Chains A and B, each alone.
Chain A
Amino acid sequence: MGKVVLVTGAARQLGGRFVRRIQRDPQVDRVVAVDAVTPEHHLGGADFIQADIGQPTIARVLAESGADTVVHMDVTGMALGSGSRTTVKETNVIGTMQLLGACQKSPTVQRLVVKSSTNVYGSAPRDPAVFTETTPPKSLPSGGFAKDAVEVEGYVRGFARRRPDVAVCVLRFANILGPAADTPLASYFSLPVLPTVFGYDPRLQFVHEDDVIEVLRIASHEPARGTLNSGTFNIAGDGVLLLSQCSRRLGRPTVPLLLPAVTWAGSLVRTLGMSDFSPEQIRLLTHGRVVSTVQMRETLGFRPEHTTAETFAEFARSRGAGLLPPEALAGAVDRIAALPALGGGHLPTQSAN
């Protein structure tokens, strides 16, 4: 008998892709996709059940589907469509509680996979440069998605204690980027001019959507030989990019603003409801965050296909050229280099740059 997989958050791009992908696995019999809204994309042959995981109905859905694997992907930073921050928080926290409650009652559930985020580490100048799964955060996130993620992980830990027979895997993803990503960071990078915090150049890590799908798949199945897929794992592509590098590779100029100005502008934008540019987002873009992926490689046995730089390059291609395309700048420098009378006179100009 094959597996029955229940996926929450299927109406989102990433959830939809995962639903379509996991159906192709031979050991999977049936996929039940759950979300509060009907997805715009097709879900392959999966059964879609419209249910709000924040409501007790999820228990009935879970019981009726007889799922043995639950993949909880409905922990997100941005509302789908025109939802407000309150509804997102409701889904993240109350939804997780309801879902975990349902799982606890269910005799069939054997495996739980939760999509979390490296946001749980916060971002502070007093943090070590690289976070491992066991690093305690120096300053807990005060609100927004990061706080949701911390709370979700707390409930998941409680569930793992109460149901030791269920394999629980928490995947802390770094910033997910990809051609279709709908994360706050992706919309930030889509701005024509990037506001940055003056005097800070944060280190960022990205993980490609394809790798996200792949690692979720690994976590949903039986572990391969010599690996263990229950526990908490950081998931990120290799390498680090600085925000300044990102802006240059994107070809989008930056506007350095003083930190108080950025905080004020962020809260103004939030109040006007233009975007959910949360304080955590600003903290991330101030101090940056890098996680260690040793556990991901050695314990989970997952090697991401895309490095941070490759993920970003693909994202940059999908967004089109900015105001200062890197190719144009490189061409300009090449033209200077090609000048025939390149002698001592050019040295000052070059150093002035």
Chain B
Amino acid sequence: MADAKVIPFDDDRSRGSAAQRPSRRRGTGSRRTTGESAQVGEVQPLPGRPRAQDDVPVTHEEEQRPAVPRDDDGGGLERRVASGLSFLRRRLTGDYEVDDFGYDEELTDQVLMSLLRPLYEKYFRVEVKGVENIPSEGGALIVANHSGTLPLDGLMMQVAVHDHHPADRHLRLLAADLVFMLPVVNELARKLGHTLACAEDADRLLGQGELVGVMPEGFKGIGKPFGERYKLQRFGRGGFVSTALRRRTPIIPCSIVGAEEIYPMIGNARTLARVLGIPYFPLTPTFPWLGPLGAVPLPTKWTIQFGDPIHTDGYPPEAAEDPMLMFNLTDQVREQIQHTLYKLLVQRRSVFF
């Protein structure tokens, strides 16, 4: 608990946008059916209670639901073998479809998600809150904080949406250009449905009614030193807001807690990074000193909270060209994420449990 820097509640207020905060708090309050006692409970660490958290009925049910079909027996096994063989047949003969972005839905659902799921469920024990804030249909832009030296937080967010959203929505992440330069990584990223973080691609995906995930902090967020954990960096140039405004899709702020501590970055070998052509070369207590073993992330406990959507359909079409509004909305999203981060940090009992 010592690392949870919860003091800057006031710091938040000084940044303006005071009108936004109460309304959001009212929103969370109304969603919570327990009323006032939960209001009090939400800022307490709840030391005595085990994993059953206070305000997450959604996650808890969801956690059990997919487990049931997976532990099938008898006739289920035969069916699984048959479906596995037909999957194999389709893959071997190339008889499957990808979309314009190279998204291979079948491979993602059947293979890649199953590979990520153990990491998600067993290693980071991700707890998801507020998944009902993601609309069941139509375009929406999920904006999240970015951390952890390696972009595992994006992947975990994708699994969270994939496994927990009742409408089986797929998250399409926007990734840095470095991802598409690296061999193997670019191939997997495209097949997972990721695409380059640029206005054209985001606009096209939102226009197709997809759920798009973006981490506007970019390398500034993911490669920040451990001492600055949970302090949001600048949110790019706010391009994501104007894209959402143009497409009139809601913006859903998302706060991810736990990813900051997986690779505590205590140093940055700048020269080495420049030689390798990457934005930073992390030095953690274990990496690169222990070699590949040092690259194993710390098993922190994660929480992913999807916040209340910020609707953009009330703005006129020309609003996308208004830089002032864009900055205001960017700040609003950023503060909402930061605020939720602090709140989740207060609730967190320990980094690892």
Contacts and interface: CB of A to CB of B under 8 A. Distances in A.
Interface of A: 125-130, 132, 135, 197-201, 203, 239-242, 244-249, 259, 287-288, 290, 326-327, 329-330, 333-334, 336-337, 342-344, 346-347, 350-351, 353
A342 B186 contact: no
Interface string B174-208: 00010011111111001100011010110010000
Contacts of A337: 82, 85-86
A330 B92 contact: yes
Contacts of A290: 100-101
Contact of A129 (B84, B91, B201): B201
Nearest to A326: B93
Given A201-B187, A201-B191, A240-B99, A246 B196 contact: no
Contact of B186 (A130, A132, A135, A200): A200
Given A129-B196, A129-B201, A350-B81, A334 B89 contact: yes
A342 B201 contact: no
B98 A240 contact: yes
Contact of B100 (A130, A245, A247, A259): A130
B77 A344 contact: yes
Contacts of A201: 102, 187, 190-191
Given A135-B200, A247-B94, A330-B93, A199 B183 contact: yes
Nearest to A291: B100
9 contacts: A129-B201, A130-B200, A130-B204, A135-B200, A199-B183, A203-B98, A240-B99, A242-B104, A326-B95
Contacts of A242: 98, 102, 104
B88 interface: yes
B180 A126 contact: yes
Nearest to A135: B200
A334 B89 CA distance: 8
A330 B94 CA distance: 10
Contacts, number: 113
A343 B195 CA distance: 40
Contacts of B183: 197-200, 259
A126 B78 CA distance: 45
Given A125-B186, A330-B93, A350-B84, A203 B177 contact: no
A245 B88 contact: no
A124 to B, nearest CB: 9
B97 interface: yes
Contacts of B200: 128-130, 132, 135
A288 B84 CA distance: 30
B92 A326 contact: yes
A329 to B, nearest CB: 4
Nearest to B205: A129
Contact of B81 (A127, A128, A246, A342): A342
Contact of B196 (A128, A245, A350): A128
Interface string B296-328: 000000000000000000000000000000000
A287 B101 CA distance: 12
Interface of B: 77-78, 80-82, 84-86, 88-89, 91-102, 104, 177, 180-187, 190-191, 195-196, 198, 200-201, 204
A246 B97 CA distance: 11
B90 to A, nearest CB: 9
Nearest to A239: B97
A197 B185 CA distance: 13
Given A129-B204, A135-B200, A336-B85, A199 B98 contact: no
Contacts of B96: 245
B173 to A, nearest CB: 13
A240 B184 contact: no
A351 B94 CA distance: 18
B29 to A, nearest CB: 41
Contacts of A336: 85
Closest 8 CB pairs of A and B: A199-B183, A248-B94, A326-B93, A125-B180, A199-B184, A128-B200, A245-B94, A249-B94
Nearest to B198: A128
B93 A329 contact: yes
A326 B92 CA distance: 7
Nearest to A334: B89
Contact of A350 (B88, B93, B95): B88
Contacts of B184: 198-199
Given A200-B186, A337-B85, A126 B99 contact: no
A252 to B, nearest CB: 11
A241 B98 CA distance: 7
A129 B81 contact: no
B312 to A, nearest CB: 22
A104 B101 CA distance: 41
A304 B336 CA distance: 48
B186 A245 contact: no
A337 B85 CA distance: 7
Nearest to B89: A333
Given A241-B98, A342-B78, A343-B77, 12 more contacts: A125-B180, A125-B181, A125-B196, A200-B186, A201-B187, A242-B98, A248-B94, A326-B92, A329-B92, A330-B92, A334-B89, A337-B85
